[in-house]
Amino acid sequence: MFFKGSLQASHRSLFHLLYRFSGADVNPKSHLVSFPKSDIITTMTPTKVLIGSENSVKIESVRHSFSKFFKLVDVEGLSVDSGVPDQPFNEDTFAGAKNRAEHVKRINDEQSINANFFVGIEGGILQLHNRWFQFTVIHISDQQHRESFGTTGLYELPIWIVEKLLAGIELAHIIDELVQDTNTKEKQSASGFLTNGEIDRLQNYTQAITFALIPFLQDSLYFP
């Protein structure tokens, strides 16, 4: 695993080591180009991420977010059971996200995939202040059994949609009917429809995954 900036730091460290023992009277910065970046990138091991879903938008959002912090990222989606109802409410949404991450971690261990991170993404609705909000929970764990949660922003749902959800209809199916399309959960989804296309599912998930990565980016603060 390599965070952005590590490659440049490696160049500097290697040059200064050579410079110190050679006794050369040269400017270190002027010789950084002698270590081609492309040559080193090809030897780097990608950060392997398993996600508990085969949904293309979820997979791409994981790739977008992890690529902000890791040089090379390999994301693989696996179909797993969330262990919660298809339309989860409140705490079940957190449980579903964690279950998905744990399931892909189990597959990783059984098949020796050697992934670095395991991600679960679960959408649900949350009741706060006598209102209902849609949100999505992200759960991330790693090989060291460290874990974290992140969420998307909350947006309020119309009461007639909530009534359908409480009756057991999935939000994705309601949005399909509203926009007269199919499989909108792999397209704009509810957030894209309700914001007139300003915040689609990919944007929504990418930010939430980035939030869930914070403890791993600042591990000395979260995992002392």
The 10s digit of each residue's pLDDT in 82-107 is 999 999 999 999 999 999 999 999 99
50 vs 76: CA distance, rounded Å? 5
For the entire predicted model, the pTM comes to 0.78
Domain covering 47-222: architecture: Alpha-Beta Complex (3.90)
Strand, coil or helix: 72: coil
Strand, coil or helix: 138: strand
Number of C-beta neighbours around residue 64 at 10 A: 18
Q: pLDDT digit string (tens) for 130-178?
A: 999 999 999 999 999 999 999 999 999 999 999 999 998 989 899 899 8
Strand, coil or helix: 90: coil
> What percent of the chain is modeled with pLDDT above 90?
67
67 vs 103: CA distance, rounded Å? 23
Tokens, residue 15: 């040059």
**Contact by Cβ (8 Å): 219, 144:** no
Helices (H), the chain: 6-22, 37-41, 56-66, 91-111, 159-166, 171-179, 189-194, 201-217, 219-222
Main-chain dihedrals φ then ψ at residue 139, nearest 5 degrees: -120, 130
Helices (H), 141-188: 159-166, 171-179
Domain assignments of the chain as residue spans, ordered by start: 6-41, 47-222
More confident residue, 157 or 224: 157
